[in-house]
Amino acid sequence: MAMGGVYTQPQHGSLVMLSGLRESGDYSDLIVKCGSKIHRVHKAILCSRSDYFKVACKPDAFKVGPFRDCLCTLAQRFQEGRDHVINIPAAVSHRDTASGDHPNTIKAVIDFCYGLPSYDQNGPASVPALEWLAAMYVAADKYQVHDMKQNLIASFKRCLAGMKDSQPRKRVATDNHYGQIGNRTSPRFNFNPTPKDETFSRAPFACIPGVITLLYSNLPGEDRVMKEDVLKWLLNEKPSCLRTATMDNVLTSNPDFAADMARMLRDKYCPSEDDDTPENIHGRPVFLTPHHMTPWN
């Protein structure tokens, strides 16, 4: 089954037909070029799934109307009105989104539009699965393939949930060191120390900084699902990742990520004064860290 997990039923005749058209290029009325990859495709299929291609396939879309000012620079790339060709600048790396798109992410977008179940399995061998899912999501957002985005979100959640540390740290409660929270005593925990930045040298965690940068550098602020998934995973499953020079650099270079983390920490550890949950006994917020539990005055 593909990572996307949507096309799990046996293919019906229409899907088989679409897959055949994708492979053969028969009856193609549009060419999409990205680097050395040439895709002979069909406007009816691409334009019905992608708002971006729907606009690109209108010859005058960049001369009049709301696209005149904001998209006129893209008109130089689109020869569709004259030659039925769309040229997309190719980027060498999936991270280099400023110079263009990775040819394999464009292939993934087109394959999804044709219903190919393996659309998400063409990533470079050197790119971890989670990072490739993020790269495809960025492409799906750019080309406005909304169903593909929802499909990738589900795959991203499963991939994150399956990330396990091959060298988990042990957590042991000390017998003689307790922290006071309200009228309760709670054991303090000692963690086996992890050398600085060792976490990001181990699979599968090495891709996390790249995933964060991809999402925060390329997605609009309101597109938050994958961003929040990564944040929750970091805070709940791998908080030790935060105590690294690598993460310091990520926080510095992605201020929106730092702001989102601050908000999530506030919501989790700094409840409002009228919050009567156990974590806010006597109306006083309690700040919990992986190393100890103390009231935060």
| Tally of domains within the chain | 2
User: What span, in angstroms and rounded, lies between the C-alpha atoms of 67 and 74?
Assistant: 10
How do beta strands 85-88 and 30-34 pair? parallel
Query: Which pLDDT does position 169 carry in this prediction?
Result: 53
Looking at the structure, tell me whether residues 217 and 291 fall in a common domain: yes
Residue after which a domain boundary falls, among 161, 195, 223: 161
Residue 4 lies inside a defined structural domain of this protein: no
Looking at the structure, tell me whether residues 120 and 37 fall in a common domain: yes
Query: Which pLDDT does position 146 carry in this prediction?
Result: 96
Looking at the structure, tell me whether residues 150 and 225 fall in a common domain: no
Query: Which pLDDT does position 60 carry in this prediction?
Result: 62
Residue 7 lies inside a defined structural domain of this protein: no
Query: Which pLDDT does position 197 carry in this prediction?
Result: 54
Residue after which a domain boundary falls, among 132, 161, 190: 161
Query: Which pLDDT does position 84 carry in this prediction?
Result: 85
How far is residue 10 CA from its own chain's centroid? 28
User: What span, in angstroms and rounded, lies between the C-alpha atoms of 76 and 66?
Assistant: 17
Looking at the structure, tell me whether residues 110 and 62 fall in a common domain: yes
Regions of the chain with pLDDT less than 50: 1-2, 4-10, 62-73, 75-76, 171-195, 281-297
Looking at the structure, tell me whether residues 153 and 37 fall in a common domain: yes
Query: Which pLDDT does position 159 carry in this prediction?
Result: 94
Residue 1 lies inside a defined structural domain of this protein: no
Looking at the structure, tell me whether residues 148 and 68 fall in a common domain: yes
3-state DSSP assignment of residue 131 = helix
Residue 117 lies inside a defined structural domain of this protein: yes
Looking at the structure, tell me whether residues 38 and 111 fall in a common domain: yes
User: What span, in angstroms and rounded, lies between the C-alpha atoms of 246 and 96?
Assistant: 19
Looking at the structure, tell me whether residues 153 and 186 fall in a common domain: no
Query: Which pLDDT does position 66 carry in this prediction?
Result: 41
Residue 238 lies inside a defined structural domain of this protein: yes
Looking at the structure, tell me whether residues 153 and 182 fall in a common domain: no
User: Whole domain around residue 143: which residue ranges?
Assistant: 13-161
φ and ψ at residue 143, rounded to 5 degrees: -95, 5
For the whole model, what pTM was predicted? 0.74
Q: Measured in Å, how far apart are the chain's first and last C-alpha atoms?
A: 52
Looking at the structure, tell me whether residues 228 and 126 fall in a common domain: no
Task: Check the CA dihedral 282-285-290-294 and report its sign.
Answer: negative
Burial call 85-98: b when 16+ CB within 10 Å, e when fewer: ebebebbeebbebe
Looking at the structure, tell me whether residues 117 and 182 fall in a common domain: no
Residue after which a domain boundary falls, among 133, 161, 189: 161
